[in-house]
Amino acid sequence: MKPTISKRLLQIVNTLPLHEGMRVLEIGCGTGIAAREIAARFTNIYVLGVDRSAKAIRQSVKNCTAAITAGKAGFRQVAIENFGNIEEEGTFNLAFAIRVGALDGRHPEAALPALKNIAKALYPGGKLFIDEGDQLKEIDPNEIAKTLFTKK
């Protein structure tokens, strides 16, 4: 039986400003449960889940077969800070990361390259949401760009 979504993940998905036609990037998708929930809610949506763990990606593929077959989800094993060719995956309207160390302050050395890659992947005006375990925060990609510019 495929795992059901937790109350916490459901709450986060409910909070994200998702709509038809979006391309969504999930960083640190784990077992793909949030991606599967998003794909199920819309007729026309695409969610790319990335995770550095091969096991997580294998589980995501297993948990999201219907969404993948429908062309609504895809998964790729890569650490976001090493995703140098992220533009090959197209451009995204919204990115989110839930409890991912590179983005929630636990691995500050990975944060800058990770944010740089996310900024490259987002359309101008694209949104980035990061969950740090207590609340979902929207990070302004323009602020990211400024940070990158000053810290490069």
Quote the CA–CA distance of 74 and 65 in Å, as a whole number.
Answer: 10
Q: Contact 40/67 with Cβ under 8 angstroms?
A: yes
Chosen residue from 75, 81, 104, 111 binding ligand SAM by CB under 6 A: 81
Which among 16-24, 47-55, 118-126, 142-150 is the span making contact with ligand SAM, rule CB under 6 A? 47-55
CA 45 to chain centre: 14
Chosen residue from 64, 110, 121, 122 binding ligand SAM by CB under 6 A: 110
C-beta of 43: minimal distance to ligand SAM in Å? 25
Nearer to ligand SAM among residue 79 and residue 121 (C-beta): 79
Instruction: Answer yes or no whether residue 77 interacts with ligand SAM by CB under 6 A.
Output: no
Give the helix, strand, coil percentages of the chain, each rounded to 5.
45, 25, 35
C-beta of 56: minimal distance to ligand SAM in Å? 4
